[in-house]
Amino acid sequence: MSQAAIELKGIACTFVSDDSGTLSTYTAVKNVDLTVADGEFVSVVGPTGCGKSTLLNMSAGLLEPSAGTVSIFGEPLVGLNRRAGYMFQADSLMPWKSALDNVAAGLLFEGVPEKEAAQRAREWLARVGLTGFEDRYPHHLSGGMRKRVAMAQTLIKDPDIILMDESFSALDIQTRQLMENELLNLWQAKRKAVLFITHDLDEAISMSDRVVVMSAGPESHPIGEFTIDLPRPRDVSEVRVTPRFIELHTAIWSVLREEVLKGYAQQQRKVQP
Ligand SMILES: Nc1ncnc2c1ncn2[C@@H]1O[C@H](COP(=O)(O)OP(=O)(O)OP(=O)(O)O)[C@@H](O)[C@H]1O
Ligand SMILES: [Mg+2]
């Protein structure tokens, strides 16, 4: 059997904060076991503040766990995860570079000759529907277009693992569904491992092979795991009206609902102690 692309084992993450001289600790996640097989699309859903981004940051090697191990294709992760491409929630384009230069930047950084990098960036911009926009700067692109550039920027390096943190949540619903379908088409062609963080259950079900539900924090951990047996290829808007989708949604929501309510209550306590 091939090694899991990502394996989190017995993961905990405790943050220490300094509130005007008083040190306090907060264990965001604890006892987390989570795997993503090679080529598998896994979504993690859970209430706000439960530790979804924390898990993604650990898989990217941006954050070290306080306990447990992160393995990437069977090797313990040390430093940055070089086999992963990362797409953030916020815009991460360089505003002083054109769309083409933003997409080519990662290749240039790796030492790919300029001409080849530009050619490949052009091809990727075409793949995400942005031919003709190569010379535009990010502030002259719409939010949806910026996401397309970011997607090309992440995928051009052909990572074995794609890590996405609420990447489409700032988009309007139509653009969002277009982007979701585009990502699924690109994924279908290459079948990379995807760890996809979202608070949107519809999005998680329509995209994924598996949906993992996290409990509310502190000490958040997986409390449910659902195989999504909807046929592929999928169209995210069409699949959402099928009886099987509704069945899966009902089953997952019955687990998630209570955690979401707990999560909100906790956030309110944080704001009004
Ligand atoms: N650097 C930090 N120092 C202290 N606490 C932190 C730090 N980073 C995150 N936390 C806390 O850890 C918890 C988990 O944060 P995280 O960002 O992973 O949640 P999330 O599930 O991604 O939330 P959201 O859905 O709102 O994006 C939160 O309660 C947050 O306040
Ligand atoms: Mg987050």
pLDDT tens-digit profile, the chain (273 residues): 568 999 999 999 999 988 778 888 999 999 999 999 999 999 999 998 899 999 999 999 999 999 999 999 999 999 999 999 988 777 789 999 999 999 999 899 889 999 999 999 999 999 888 999 999 999 999 888 898 899 899 989 889 999 999 988 878 888 889 889 989 998 988 899 999 999 899 999 999 999 999 999 899 999 999 999 999 999 999 999 999 999 999 999 999 999 888 887 877 776 665
Question: Which pLDDT does position 273 carry in this prediction?
Answer: 58
Nearest CA to ligand 1 atom 1: 15
Q: Which residues pair with 32 in a beta bridge?
A: 11
User: Do residues 146 and 154 touch, judged by C-beta distance below 8 A?
Assistant: no
Strand partners, 21: none
CA 53 to ligand 2 centroid distance, Å: 4
- Ligand 1 surroundings by CB, under 6 angstroms: 15, 17, 26, 28, 46, 48-54, 199, 217
- Which pLDDT score is estimated for 20? 79
State how far the Cα of 226 lies from the Cα of 210, in Å rounded to an integer.
Answer: 6
Ligand 2 mean position, distance from CA 51 (Å): 7
How many angstroms separate the alpha carbon of residue 130 from the centre of ligand 2?
A: 28
pLDDT of 272 reads 65
Tens digit of pLDDT for each residue in 201-243?
999 999 999 999 999 989 999 999 999 999 999 999 999 999 9
- SS3 for 164? strand
pLDDT at 173 (0 to 100): 87
Q: Which residues are placed with Cβ below 5 angstroms of ligand 2, an ion?
A: 53
Atom of ligand 1 nearest to the CA of 199: 25
Predicted pLDDT at 225: 97
pLDDT for res 71 = 97
CA of 195 to the centre of ligand 2 (A): 13
DSSP assignments along 65-131, one per residue? -SEEEEEETTEE--SS-TTEEEE-SS----TTS-HHHHHHHHHHHTT--HHHHHHHHHHHHHHTT-T
How many C-beta atoms surround the C-beta of residue 58 within 10 A? 24
Q: At what angle do helices 143-155 and 99-109 cross, to 10 degrees?
A: 20
- Residues 75-107 as b/e (b if ≥16 CB within 10 A, e otherwise) read eebeeebebbbbbebeebbeeeebbbbbbbbbb
Residue closest via CA to ligand 1's atom 17 equals 53
User: Which pLDDT score is estimated for 90?
Assistant: 77
**Ligand 2 centroid – CA 157 distance (Å):** 24
Give the residue whose CA is nearest to atom 18 of ligand 1: 51
